[in-house]
Structure 1
Amino acid sequence: MLSAAHRDIVSATLPLVGGAIGEITPVFYRRLFAAHPELERDLFNRGNQASGAQQAALAGAVAMYATMLVEENPETRALIERIANKHASLGVAPDAYPIVHEHLFAAIVEVLGADTVTTDVAEAWTAVYWAMADDLIGREKQLYAAAGATPESTWIPVVVVERDQQSPATVAFTLAAPDGAPLPDFHAGQYISVSVTLTDGARQIRQYSLSHAAGVDRWRISVRRDGEVSSHLHEYAFEGTELSVSRPFGDVYLDSAPSTPLLLVSAGIGITPVLGMLYALETEAQGRSVTVVHADRTRATHAHRAELAELVARIPGAELVTYYDELPDGYPLVAGERRGRIDLRDIVVPAEGNVYLCGPTPFMQALTRQLADVDVASDRIYAEAFTPLTA
């Protein structure tokens, strides 16, 4: 908790710092990578750095956390949970936080000037930073313990035992432990990080949802060719290839309330956590209402198309609706298919149900607005996106 004096200073300076945070974070990363070039090469997503997405994410996280602290908003817990799971999947250790603090506050002073960032202002914002850092360190410690790991032992070896071309742009990789031992369990909807060494020697990491059932001795991820790591896997990962992956993490996973209706909505490769959830629902056998809505460009681009239909058919009472954006007019539709983009006005949305979204950010923003229009409470919407957090 912030002291009363710190809260007053942060409240007074939040518009100033918040307004400049978009300028502060590029300076922060420049300073950080100048002092620690190995972080840009071997940890941070180079694509997000180049696009500015990572800078916007840090800006959003700091500004959101400061605002929530000042207003004592309980949504700080959701923010901490999301970031902590991402950090745990990367093996982030507590000793990273002093390094970030050093370069972040140097960037704040560089952008705003020493006359603005007085001793009192610096102390108040330092209190904000360490409140957030302490929350993250504490939660990450819990996540590592629950996974039976430490930051150093987050990474485990797996071997590709099956490679399946699911669509022109998507490959499914089935993974197993090299010695055939059981892999760690996971909640349906969670993800693993995959670390690869690219052809230029850089180590880069991306997250992929587990798209098969939990409690088996194999994992499966489905990778759409898009970006450095995904393209590398498409080019170089075949049966027998060994990969370094994290244990499963993720704060968006299937609820354990068997009487709660579900609406699972995905687009493109966002289908992967939905598949994991459907496998879990198949074994749950509780007969709750399940509606699955998926959007894709065409049938040909729809990865796991037949598997999705078969899974939904095996769940009593479940319904599948598929939208194809580029299906020509007059082309015959099969049961459950529709043309165009998802329109929830055509779907029976359970007022007291839980909604899970996964897909590109614009898709999820549009669906969130549609859900608000049909009076679905925001605390019933769970969204998974493998892009940096934004405010």
Structure 2
Amino acid sequence: MSIAELVDAVVDGPLTVGLRAYDGSSLGPPDAPRTLRLRTPRAVAYLATAPGDLGLARAYVAGDLEIDGVHPGDPYDVLVDLAAVRFRRPSPATALEAARALGVRGLTPPPPPPQEHLPRWRRAAEGLRHSVTRDAEAIHRHYDVSNRFYELVLGPTMAYTCACYPDRDATLEQAQENKFRLVFDKLGLREGDRLLDIGCGWGGMARHAARRGVHVTGVTLSREQAQWARKAIADDGLTDLAEVRHGDYRDVTETGFDAVSSIGLTEHVGVRQYPAYFRFIRDRLRPGGTLLNHCITRPHNRHQEIGPFIDRYVFPDGELTGSGRIISAAQDTGLEVLHEENLRPHYALTLAQWCANLVANWDECVDEVGEGTARVWGLYMAGSRLGFERGEVQLHQVLAVRPHDDGSTGLPLRPWWRG
């Protein structure tokens, strides 16, 4: 039984991409614009022992699966093709024949690529998730890859969160600055105010606010982010107004902030930790102070695992839920939710432009982090773009305020950022 026959036995319906295997067999349209090449027996073993996204990712990251017709920095087109593929369970006779064809080696899981990471203690000690130590390790795995790599992919703003496009012709840099402006305006910040920016990344929001006279305290668990942000703040002459700390946001003890911004942090907090997270924020705000929570969400509020590829290769311990769960958790701590907004289409555009940057700077990115890691980022960003386009994931900004004891907030009757 050839490799192509094995694949054909589990594919339900026509295959719109081509398939070429190391044994010389092939499947799919001969003139397909995109072709999957299974270069080694290990590629088949990855697919056979981890069916679905994880097996494909392992083979692709390891270089055992090549894709003709797409750049590895942006495999979006082939992911669109594969999203339409449906699989069926083979008959017992076909499964037995496939097992004989693959043999013991083909049914033995090969070691995963070195880019894969799953803490050994996860199953045995689930309660350790989102401890300070565990969160620090997860953040280090993702964000301490290489500041130069992120510069090449993210561009000058070094903003690793959804941009907000004033129109579809806007550049990535214009859209990211527009996002910071939107957050600043929603928070109602004014010169002389105090802002706490938790999960501040490379300091984009902190510098945006400091340029407008706001005193900013930023905090990130990534050492490399903190180092880059401090230098950028110094280069901009903003050290009197902004500081970035390397540490856990839970270590911030100051209170009385006029506003808190959390841009892309909640995904790492853990749904069970939401009550403590929003209590922390409430306790750091003065009465009348505002919160802008910006994070990736689900289109529903049911429990759903983040998926093995993202969990093992991109965001260890990441968790997503719906905006309803986030809003409820904020309200339960005494915060009054004023406004929510879904920026889902904006994230698809952001990811497309990040992939374009990765393609344009591919050789330097590979020199910086290695081809396997560069492939991970291309795959994850292109796949995420497709997820946002299809509505499988969303991006919500939630604006809330800590009311005074008498229920007043001191805010205008109409949204002040819209006029």
TM-score by length of 2: 0.27
